[in-house]
Amino acid sequence: MSNINNYGVVTGRLLKDVAVFKNEDGSYRSEVNINVDIDGNYADKNKAKQSETVLLEGLIEAGQKDNSVYNKMHKGNIVSIGYTVRNDNYIDKNGNETYRQFLFIEEVDLMEDLNENSEVQSS
């Protein structure tokens, strides 16, 4: 179970297909980037609800034969993603400290039957 104090969930539509970046030598793991469009908490002056984009990052461990759930996700699918906030702090080759926080994917739920969404996938 994740630490409830550092866990959140976003639910929305994928803005584009999932991006998987493999290591050049194929070792260790692959990185996954997902962009989800979610309803915002505010409306514009015409009372139209605004949306926001959330970028989430995850990993596919080395040796995994396929990209599992990520192969089934396509632009337009409704997904619910559980995440934790992580730090990626490091010192670069010039000796500068870099601080970065990101939303790390812990679990993914497909919120609709993929057959129902075949029209969105093909567009």
Could you tell me the domains of the chain? 4-116 (2.40.50.140)
Mean of the per-residue pLDDT values of the chain? 82
Using CA atoms, how far apart are residues 106 and 109, in angstroms rounded to an integer?
10
Closest to 9 in 3D by CA, of 114, 87, 106? 106
What is the reported pLDDT for 107?
Answer: 92
3-state helix, strand, coil in the chain (%, to 5): 10, 50, 40
Predicted TM-score of the model (pTM): 0.75
Residue 54, pLDDT score: 92
Matching residue, tokens 């989800």: 36
pLDDT band at 118, cuts 50/70/90? very low
| 10-47 pLDDT per residue, tens | 999 999 998 888 777 665 567 889 999 988 787 888 88
Residues in the chain, overall count:
123
Rounded Cα distance, 77 and 116, in Å: 10
Answer whether residue 63 shows pLDDT above 60: yes
